[in-house]
Copies of this chain bind each other. A is one copy, B any other.
Amino acid sequence: MNASYQRRKADRPEEILNAALDVFVRDGYDASRLADIAAEAGVSKGLLYHYFDSKEALFRAVVEQEVTPRLEEMTRLIGQLEIPIAQFMKQMLPELMAAVLASRAGVVIRLVIANGAQHPEITRYYFDNIIARGEAMLKALIQRGVDNGEFRESALQTQPMLLMAPAILCQVWGMLFGEYRALDNAALLREHMGLMVSAVETQATTP
């Protein structure tokens, strides 16, 4: 009782955010009750308001906490690549993406897909910090492939989001149809990357 007071105090915001994310994703933002989040976090309803101004602020905090680290991790990784781009895209990238989709960040993605529309501030933040930067990162990746002769010029240079499309499909599918038929995300993403790469690869690399 006495031991944990100080320590737990420091953890409270995070515990609350964890609980909130779980409940938001499980029940949907609107249907989520602060009472459930509080119960899940093991605190009182009132304490939520000690740390967050409103339900919406809690939503925002949930999104913002998870957003940046993952992307920076991946950006760093891509910057340090020492293998050919094509190989990275066909082998590592699908695994990485599948891992993200299955992580807390992936849950946040689901949350934003389902509930972002009514929260412009949050989607704006997400757009600026994830979408725009993720797009830029992919664009740079493709361009490196073109520059080093692995890839020919293609629509992927202007529409890099085409690489990500199946990831969105995976999350939407998981939200809606996962119970009826599960998707093998990693496999799906691997096949997609394989097709995409083979579409833009220069002849030289195939044989």
B-binding residues in A (CB < 8 A): 27-31, 112-118, 120, 123-124, 126-127, 131, 154-156, 158-159, 161-162, 164-166, 168-169, 172-173, 175-177, 179-181, 187-188, 191-192, 194-196, 198-200
Contacts and interface: CB of A to CB of B under 8 A. Distances in A.
The 8 closest A-B pairs by CB, nearest first: A30-B30, A155-B191, A199-B199, A165-B165, A195-B199, A165-B169, A165-B166, A116-B176
A27 B161 CA distance: 27
Contacts of A115: 28, 114
A124 B180 contact: yes
A203 to B, nearest CB: 11
Contacts of A156: 195
A155 B114 contact: no
Contacts of A196: 195, 199
Given A124-B180, A127-B176, A155-B194, 16 more contacts: A28-B30, A112-B176, A114-B115, A114-B117, A117-B175, A117-B176, A123-B180, A127-B180, A154-B195, A162-B166, A162-B191, A165-B165, A165-B169, A168-B169, A195-B195, A195-B196
A199 to B, nearest CB: 4
A140 to B, nearest CB: 18
